[in-house]
Structure 1
Amino acid sequence: MEESLKVKKATYQLWTFTISKIISTLGANVLAFGISLYILKMTGSATSFAMNMVCSILPRVLLASIVGLMADRYSKKMIILLSQGCTVVLMAGLLVYGYLSGITVTSIYIVTALYSITSTFNSVTFTSSIACLVDRTRIQKAMSFNQMAMSIAAIGGPAIGGMMYGFVSIEGFLIVHMVAYLIALLLEATMNFHLYSEVKNEAKDEVRIWQSLKDGFQYAQTKKAVATILWVAFWINLFFTAMNVGGIFILVEVLKIKSRHVGIIESAGAIGMLVASVFLSTRKPSTYPLLQSKRYILWMATALGLATIPLWVEFTYMMNFLFFITLFFSFSAFAVFINTPVGVMIQTEVEESYRGRIFGILEAVSMAMMPLGTMVFGLLFDRVDPQWVLLGSSMILIVITSYMMRSSVIQQIYPQLTSSKSHIKEKVQHL
């Protein structure tokens, strides 16, 4: 294919990818909002709500690495289209079941778990495919658009879901989700997943699955930058859960912020993600992505500590409201500045034949810490003053990040940093 035609096709795929992501993610968020309210309405139990979260998270943790392996070995396009199609069938199946027997909490748990499986196939495979869909100069733009789609869905999902909840039944939420995924499937069917692929023939050898997974872990260890990311992701996803668990607890229980204002504060986080994604989509990729991520992890850890200020110093209601809007906005923006450069680095520096496994391992490591962190910090916030929990988490994160991404590690990954500093020093001495 001529280069000019490839560039045009890549442009088409960039926007098709973005539109399909916005549509499908928005549909998923609308459904998640409706399901949450439906379960609480049926049971009035926070435990039932938490169980649905477990059904959503656990399959991702268990299957992400295996899904990454399949993305490396088989047709990415086929996996994505099949996963989208299975999601549509799942929603249709629950609709039929509800019509025949009535939708129950158990049926929601089962569909949530199955949907988590199909969405894991879709998200891991799609993420590992970005470098095959667009040229290298637009990988960061594609990664930023992916984050932008998530933020738009985070803002629009609850808004649309809230408007729908008073007028339609749970079946209406299922239909919206089903239609969204069907449209996304049709868009993705037009995409060429081999446009910039370096592997012309999909690997279909008979290597055993566990050996292939082991190869993926061993490959990650040979890439110092990737190994560092995996270890840092393991710890930061554990301790940043303190904000996920404690943020709402502090707002509602400690500071007595009204529920409608809590919603605005949470929306500020989604807006922060959107603004940061749009900003990065216009910028060139970072020369030293791991160094950039380190800086913003430290900023995030600092923001976690700053969240305790209203707990030490008495603010007015409005000051608390504005303070946490700024905090949530900054927290989410920092997360984008961490995740996007790392994602671009994996897309460009990891061989295509291992890319799916690396993204799968990264997702498994990140997701595994969420239920553990939720349980640990839930217990801590019940027994310890929240300011000490957040402040302790902030300090631990700063120590862990500073050690695991210390100067010697950064220089080992980017030896050119040392040479450039030496060159500048020589110039200064010469002058």
Structure 2
Amino acid sequence: MEVQITNRQSVIQIVRAASSDIISTLGGDTFGFALGLMLLHTTHSALSFGLGSIIYPIVGLLLMIPVGNLIDRGHHKPLILTSKALDIGAYIVYALLADRVANQMLLAILVLTFIACCDKVTNTGFTASIHELVNDNHIKTLATIEQAATAGIQLISPVLAAALYGMIGFDGIVRVEIAAEISVWLITLSMRFHPLKAAETKEVSAATPADQTSQSDQPRQSGAVKSATQPAQTQWQLFKVGLRYIWNRFTLRSVVIMGVFLNFLFSSVDVGLPYAIVQTRHMSNTSLSVVMSGFAAGILVGNLVLSMLPTFKRVLLTILRLSMVVGGAIFALGMLFMSTLPDTQLVLILVIWALLVGLTLAFVNTPMSVYMQMTVPTELLGRVGSTFGTLMQLAVPVGTAFYSIFFQHVSAGPVYAMTGIVVLVYIGVNLLIVQQKLAAGKQIDD
């Protein structure tokens, strides 16, 4: 019998989860920004700030099947604690080798790859554990508070990273990150996970309609009986259940397909903005950090507003309309970089631009996260979450590599203008298709 999580317990878990996210994001973002600065000044490559954007999606793709299956079949808390412990070990090794290795780019790639493997297990584990931490009434609260807390830290982390980079250097920032990760591990250890029923007992919920018909007479069959009458499933067979669940849901399938395409194009902002500000316009690290903080400020404000709004009913339609705003913003960014504004005015406008884009992204990401938690069966959240997140990031390495080369040969203005036009056309076509479905009386949010 499943343990009922009280409202009081849910509130306590929310506080601990938010604290963990704050410390983890503060340390991780500070380290990532400082690493990008160090590599940018050392190698003068646009790829410096896009290194993580390449490594994390590749690692996510390679580990998508085994990690999703591992999380759905294993106990979440021990898996999360183990992955965080290995994460801490990786930072310690990096601190010992940072001053002893000549090829800083190669060392960063190796360390980030290992950390990405640990983070894949940790993030997938937490995604699948939401129902073990809070009750259904607090799922939206947890999602919005975590997003808001994370955005609040992201607001100050670029400025903090730039300041610490000048005060204690990159080596000092690595040590700060080690301390932050240890704190997160201890907070996770204090969190209480309420185990749910084993995944085997509910696999039927993700079956196709035909499968559901054939198994409808035995919906509560125990895992022991099932394992005794059926052969052990392979990693691919287990993973395919989650993949099939996404494919059979129009909203999830549409968001994944659009996400792959849009994340490729949005790589132009992740890679090109730091390169255009620091290398092309020769502005200071502080200017870059202030602009990057604008994204987090927008996400923070957006999540605070979302916490007071009811849950969106037509998630896909909302995402499409907001994506049109993002496309227009990228096009406007191109026009901005083609102007001859002085640096002070340019930074001010870029901060406002980043604020608006961050606000828009909050209204895209958080409702989708809540939608998944409320509609995907708990026993499938590991596989669906792992698959969903990996596929959404699948195009990022290609986009990062593409735009890294592009920005070193073409000025930022035309690149952003063309990218914005492509986003507007693509999203406009998809928005028209969805509106036609709605006009025909079809349900889109399944």
TM bin (shorter chain)? 0.7 to 0.9
Do residues 201 (structure 1) and 229 (structure 2) align? no
Shift in Å, 1:412:
8.2
Do residues 377 (structure 1) and 403 (structure 2) align? yes
**Higher alpha-carbon deviation: 404-413 or 60-69:** 404-413
Do residues 116 (structure 1) and 123 (structure 2) align? no
Aligned to 1:32: 32
Shift in Å, 1:256:
6.0
Aligned to 2:382: 356
Residues 108/231 of structure 1: CA separation in 2 closer, same or farther (3 Å cut): closer
Shift in Å, 1:48:
8.3
Contact 2:27 2:176 in 1 (8 A): yes
Q: 1:284 and 1:366 mapped to 2: Cα distance?
A: 26
**Higher alpha-carbon deviation: 308-317 or 391-400:** 308-317
Shift in Å, 1:154:
2.3
Aligned to 1:407: 435
Shift in Å, 1:285:
1.6
Do residues 368 (structure 1) and 368 (structure 2) align? no
Residues 164/248 of structure 1: CA separation in 2 closer, same or farther (3 Å cut): closer
Deviation track 1:297-316 (CA, whole Å, cap 9, x = no partner) reads 11111111122333565545
Structure 2 residue runs of 5 or longer lacking an equivalent are: 201-222
Deviation track 1:161-197 (CA, whole Å, cap 9, x = no partner) reads 3343344465533332222222212222232333xx7
RMSD: 3.2
Shift in Å, 1:66:
3.2
* 2:429 match: secondary structure: helix
Deviation track 1:194-236 (CA, whole Å, cap 9, x = no partner) reads 3xx7x41244863110111222211111111111111111111
Contact 1:36 1:49 in 2 (8 A): yes
Q: 1:27 and 1:158 mapped to 2: Cα distance?
A: 11
Deviation track 1:321-355 (CA, whole Å, cap 9, x = no partner) reads 33222111111111111011111111111111221
Aligned to 2:419: 393
Match of 1:293 among 300, 309, 319: 319
Deviation track 1:227-282 (CA, whole Å, cap 9, x = no partner) reads 11111111111112222233344445666655533332222122111211222223
Q: 2:424 and 2:313 mapped to 1: Cα distance?
A: 23
Shift in Å, 1:407:
1.2
Match of 1:335 among 348, 361, 365: 361
Q: 2:48 and 2:57 mapped to 1: Cα distance?
A: 13
AA in 2 matched with 1:81: L
Q: 1:336 and 1:143 mapped to 2: Cα distance?
A: 11
Aligned to 1:427: none
| Identity among equivalent pairs (%) | 20
Contact 1:131 1:348 in 2 (8 A): no
**Higher alpha-carbon deviation: 289-298 or 148-157:** 148-157
Aligned to 2:159: 159
Shift in Å, 1:292:
1.7
Aligned to 1:240: 266
**Higher alpha-carbon deviation: 27-36 or 1-10:** 1-10
Do residues 283 (structure 1) and 283 (structure 2) align? no
Q: 1:389 and 1:161 mapped to 2: Cα distance?
A: 28
**Higher alpha-carbon deviation: 86-95 or 175-184:** 86-95
Aligned to 1:71: 71
AA in 2 matched with 1:280: L
Q: 1:107 and 1:253 mapped to 2: Cα distance?
A: 23
Residues 401/8 of structure 1: CA separation in 2 closer, same or farther (3 Å cut): same
Q: 2:102 and 2:51 mapped to 1: Cα distance?
A: 15
Structure 1 residue runs of 5 or longer lacking an equivalent are: 418-431
Shift in Å, 1:408:
3.5
Residues 93/189 of structure 1: CA separation in 2 closer, same or farther (3 Å cut): same
Shift in Å, 1:122:
0.8
Residues 177/124 of structure 1: CA separation in 2 closer, same or farther (3 Å cut): same
